[in-house]
Amino acid sequence: TPSDISTALQLGIEHSVGKLSSKHERDVLMQDFQDIDVVFFPRDGSTSTPAHHHADFTFKTYAPIAFRFFRELFGIKPQDFMISMCDKRLKEIRNPGASGSLFFLTNDDRFIIKTVQKKEAQFLQELLPGYYLNFSQNKKTLLPKFFGLYSYSTSSGQRNIRIVVMNNLLPSVYQYQVKFDLKGSTHKRKASKNEREKKCPTLKDLDFKTELPEGFGVDPTIYDSLTRTLERDVRVLRSFKIMDYSLLIGVHKLTEVSRSWSVSEADSRLRSASGGASSIDAVTATARLGRIHAYTTSGEAVMLFIGIIDILQSYRFIKKLEHTYKSILHDGDAVSVTSPGFYSERFVNFCKSSVFTKRIGKKLRYYYL
């Protein structure tokens, strides 16, 4: 069961972070990106692993030194990471996509754990040097923040699970009226009736055009910074032949009252939720990178939570066949699965012309700059 998996993961991660903290801090080298740490957890325990109620399993930590370095860059201390990941039960969350992945959220709302396929895990490892290169140049990046890559496999071979740990784009202390998952494509990009009836539905490109024909109005300075960041991020994705990623937008409505206090209020709730950890400022600072104030077509003030998601399905591995197949069935222009260059251009153009528009108005406090 998912709950079984999550407690086994916690055992593995606790051990991995603990082991790592005994290692001296040092610079990251190129081969750290390829490194894998393997630990066997027999049911009855061993000199270095505790006894447990699962079947014997092997836990692998990919690129431990490199990910420690990434966590540091994002202001996450080893102790805080361990507490977030291991101290309390992980919450399973309903699969937001159609990928068949399991999703867990840490109790303090900071991290998302997602199961990934073998190809995706391999691809993430390949991606790491470029991912580092991008982050070191482009601090405002909206690409997913990866904090760890692990695998859990039973000795019987029955179960083999790989997970990534990522930032939680949509902190649950905020309420979202609606979310958008946008690709810049029109083919099948409409939420199902089922989805639309949810309390906070995830809508798609065609829905967006209907709901917000004029897009989100944002301050011109923010608009320029945001679209520039999107262009830079997408250039990186394109260079890795990645496509089929989405722009995720969580829309939090600012009421007359909340306009003045909701943000700092929610921040302090977030702070207390995570136990007042000292690194919380770094976390909220990171989180704020993906937040902007905007206006809807009808003039409502909203706060948007923005990030690029689903970047691990590499074109090279998965999409080539799919493309060959689909391009026969449909008009290439409308299919979201096509070439990385075409995909990235359409994506950015859609964001620049339809999702966001420049709007000069009352300046609210905004967080994206």
DSSP state of 242: B
Stretch that binds a second copy, among 103-111, 232-240, 308-316, 321-329 (CB under 8 A): 232-240
Q: Is 24 in the site for a second copy (CB under 8 A)?
A: no
Residues in the chain: 369
Find the shortest distance in angstroms from Cβ 232 to a second copy: 6
Find the shortest distance in angstroms from Cβ 129 to a second copy: 6
**Could you tell me where the beta strands, DSSP code E, fall in the chain?**
36-41, 57-62, 91-93, 103-105, 111-116, 146-154, 160-167, 178-182, 202-203, 216-218, 246-253, 291-295, 301-309, 356-358
Q: Is 232 in the site for a second copy (CB under 8 A)?
A: yes
Q: Which of 16, 106, 134, 227 binds a second copy (CB under 8 A)?
A: 134
Nearer to a second copy, 75 or 130 (CB): 130
Query: Given CA atoms 330, 336, 340, 344 in this order, what sign does their dihedral have?
Result: positive
Asked whether the beta carbons of 285 and 277 are under 8 A apart, the reply is: no
Q: Which of 2, 3, 4, 29 binds a second copy (CB under 8 A)?
A: 29
Stretch that binds a second copy, among 3-11, 125-133, 148-156, 333-341 (CB under 8 A): 125-133
Q: Which of 1, 47, 136, 210 binds a second copy (CB under 8 A)?
A: 136
Find the shortest distance in angstroms from Cβ 33 to a second copy: 9
Stretch that binds a second copy, among 43-51, 229-237, 251-259, 283-291 (CB under 8 A): 229-237
Q: Which of residues 235-254 bind a second copy (CB under 8 A)?
A: 235-236, 239-240
Q: Is 86 in the site for a second copy (CB under 8 A)?
A: no
Structural tokens at position 91? 């919450």
Task: Report the distance separating Cα 291 and Cα 186, nearest Å.
Answer: 26
Q: Is 140 in the site for a second copy (CB under 8 A)?
A: no
Stretch that binds a second copy, among 39-47, 133-141, 336-344, 345-353 (CB under 8 A): 133-141
Q: What amino acid is encoded at 6 in this protein? A: S
Structural tokens at position 106? 């840490």
Q: Is 133 in the site for a second copy (CB under 8 A)?
A: yes
Asked whether the beta carbons of 68 and 79 are under 8 A apart, the reply is: no
**β-pair type (216-218, 178-182):** unpaired
Contacts of 100 (CB under 8 A, 6+ apart): none
Residues that bind a second copy (CB under 8 A): 26-31, 129-130, 132-134, 136-138, 232, 235-236, 239-240
